[in-house]
Amino acid sequence: MYGGDEAVISGHAALGLHGYALSSTKSDILLLIPQNRHRRNFSFVTVERSWRVPEPVHKGTLRIAPVARSLLDAGRRTSRTDDCRALFSAALQRGDVTVDHLAGELADGSSRGTAVPRKVIQELVDDAHSVAEIEAQKLYSTSDLPPMVHNRDVEDSSRTWIARPDGWLDSVALAWEIDSFAHHLSARDHEATMRRRAVMQRHGIIVVTHLPRQIRHEPSTVLADLAAAYRQGLERPRPDVRVR
């Protein structure tokens, strides 16, 4: 009523209506109106004029922005990176958006207040086979462990393909997996990861997994995990597997 027939609710208020528990407790309402309209902020209502008022989703008599736009509008008003990360992660886990949707909305929208959501989306874009894997290789080079090869196909004695781990320590048949946050959120991706890991373990391969965040912020723990796994490998007969 206040914004007019073309007004659309966005941000946390819209996300609450989309069913996001993280946003349902927020009391403020973000109202998007066309650039040629004029309304003041009033009480719990923040008004933003926009050239890109989105096609609304109708919830009863309410006109709300689609999830991707609502997420970015909420993210632009979030000062804590962890809060923004939790918000975007919830949407990815639900399958409401993809990383590409978020990146596209960021690129097309206003640049005001985008520092935090831009940082979070960059984290999601940086998958394990780019930035995080390079950091992992650099970290491993500082260890006293034998040389490790990367992204090599491993097969069994009958030359049947097993997996292509991020890192492979051949002397003890140890696989190192960097579980990219961006590509392991959906149930399908998680199941594929678990299946691949189970196949390797079924062949006697020791599997060590870390997150990109651990590589960056817990390097000593990561190296200790790898060293412990290497010692474990020395204490058991090496399985009959090899690099293709």
Interval 101-136: pLDDT, tens:
898 889 888 788 889 999 888 877 654 345 677 788
Residue 192 in this model has a pLDDT that exceeds 60 = yes
- Mean pLDDT within 177-186: 65
- Exposed e or buried b for every residue in 144-153, given b needs 16+ CB within 10 A? ebeebebeee
pLDDT surpasses 80 at 171: yes
Q: Please state, rounded to an integer, the average pLDDT across all residues of the chain.
A: 87
| pLDDT greater at residue 133 or residue 197 | 197
The architecture that CATH gives domain 131-243 is: 3-Layer(aba) Sandwich (3.40)
Cα–Cα dist 179/216, whole Å: 13
List the Cα angle 25/31/33 in 5-degree steps: 165
Give dist(CA 162, CA 166) in Å, integer: 13
Domain spans in the chain, listed from the N-terminal domain onward? 8-125, 131-243
Residue 36 scores a pLDDT above 70: yes
